[in-house]
């Protein structure tokens, strides 16, 4: 039997996998990539009797690959918090999918493991822009405020490392980052031993400063839309900037767009933190996907910008 670990390359995906492998060490083939690269199950070359663990990846995006693997006789353990429509029933599919807006995949793994490595879930929740959920977990684990602040920095920095439209945009490949954290059972030990994290934090703050110099392209009572330039820093910062905007104006929905080749935009969408619903539903109107509080669109035609802004306003002004 061969094992495959397939996860999103952000803090939530990497820390979810790390918790599982701390609890159950396994010699597995790791498949991961930039945060935007969700269609990872298609890369699994498995045989009958093999086992796949899938973490923090949209089931809807990977549906065809999952069905093909199941038909081949591959067992799949699927843990995720993105919307999954029409989840199939199959004896080889074990799905733990919770789409509540205050849950991330690392929290689902923490739930499965009974809090055994909870500090990693705290860091992941901070990285996934769920500060209230992260704080609740930290209190449950008896983590003091100083260590909680360190876990927040860890989660946000590792999450930032996964942002970008291609590996050329990334500060470090997610597989290489996982190899760095893999020896550490305690995330605070990892923080103390890995100087790269400080570099990630510095670049994240520099990129955010550049983003904060931009003016919104469209605003309304309940929404704000930003168009960032065609630069590596902008592609990296798009999601983190959207998270920052949502924390600073929790009553508003936010969209941050960057241009891509071929006349398209890539968009990061954040529902209002005060009412974190509907981002996934809105993005599906334009071929995107995600979860209720945060979602994205990979190929929004630039000519559709005005229609996008109008639909965005309608979606969130109607719910305001």
Nearest to 187 by CA among 233, 250, 138: 138
pLDDT tens column, 100-155: 989 999 999 999 999 999 999 999 999 998 999 999 999 999 999 999 999 999 99
- Percent of the chain whose pLDDT exceeds 70: 99
- What local confidence, expressed as pLDDT, does residue 318 receive? 64
pLDDT tens column, 230-270: 999 999 999 999 999 999 999 999 999 999 988 999 999 99
Going from the C-alpha of 93 to that of each of 44, 97, 106, 183, the distances in angstroms are 15, 12, 19, 30
Take residue 155 and report the two structure tokens written for it: 């989660």
- Residue 176, pLDDT > 80, answer yes
According to DSSP, residue 164 is labeled S
| Average pLDDT estimate for 170-181 | 96
Domains of the chain: 3-199 (3.90.1640), 214-317 (3.10.310.30)
- Residue 71, pLDDT > 70, answer yes
Confidence at 186, pLDDT banded by 50, 70, 90:
very high
What is this structure's pTM? 0.89
Q: What is the residue-averaged pLDDT of the chain?
A: 95
Going from the C-alpha of 109 to that of each of 116, 155, 168, 186, 187, the distances in angstroms are 10, 16, 30, 16, 16
The packing angle between helices 131-140 and 118-127, to 10°, is: 170
DSSP string, 29-57: EEE---TT----GGG----TT-EEEEES-
- Percent of the chain whose pLDDT exceeds 90: 90
- What local confidence, expressed as pLDDT, does residue 291 receive? 85
Confidence at 181, pLDDT banded by 50, 70, 90:
very high
Going from the C-alpha of 70 to that of each of 6, 52, 73, 90, the distances in angstroms are 15, 10, 5, 8
- Return the bridge partners of 258, or none: 266
């Amino acid at each position: 039997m061969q094992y495959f670990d397939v996860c999103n390359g952000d803090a939530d995906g990497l820390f979810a996998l790390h918790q599982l492998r701390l609890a159950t060490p396994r010699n597995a083939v790791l498949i991961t990539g930039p945060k935007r690269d969700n269609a990872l199950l298609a890369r699994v070359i498995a045989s009958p009797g093999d086992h796949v663990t899938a973490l923090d990846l949209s089931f809807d995006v990977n549906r065809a690959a999952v069905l093909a693997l199941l038909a081949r006789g591959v067992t799949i353990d699927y843990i995720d918090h993105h919307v999954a429509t029409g989840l199939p029933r199959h004896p080889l599919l074990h799905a733990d999918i919770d789409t509540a807006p205050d849950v991330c995949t690392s929290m689902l793994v923490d739930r499965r493991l009974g809090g055994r490595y909870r500090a990693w879930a705290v860091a992941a929740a901070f990285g996934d822009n769920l500060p209230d959920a992260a704080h609740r977990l930290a209190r449950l684990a008896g983590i003091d405020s100083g260590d909680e602040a360190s876990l927040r920095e860890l989660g946000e920095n590792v999450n930032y490392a996964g942002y970008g439209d291609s590996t050329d945009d990334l500060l470090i490949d997610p597989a290489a980052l996982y190899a760095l954290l893999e020896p550490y059972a305690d995330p605070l030990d990892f923080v103390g031993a890995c100087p790269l994290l400080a570099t990630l934090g510095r670049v994240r703050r520099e990129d955010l400063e550049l983003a904060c110099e931009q003016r919104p392209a469209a605003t309304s009572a309940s929404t704000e839309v930003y168009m960032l330039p065609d630069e590596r820093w902008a592609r990296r910062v798009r999601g983190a900037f959207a998270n920052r905007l949502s924390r600073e104006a929790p009553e508003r929905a936010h969209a941050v767009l960057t241009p891509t080749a071929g006349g398209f935009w890539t968009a990061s969408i954040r529902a209002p933190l005060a009412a974190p619903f509907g981002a996934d539903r809105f993005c599906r109107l334009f071929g995107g996907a995600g979860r209720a509080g945060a979602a994205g669109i990979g190929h929004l035609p630039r000519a559709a910008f005005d229609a996008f802004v109008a639909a965005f306003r309608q979606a969130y002004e109607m719910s305001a």
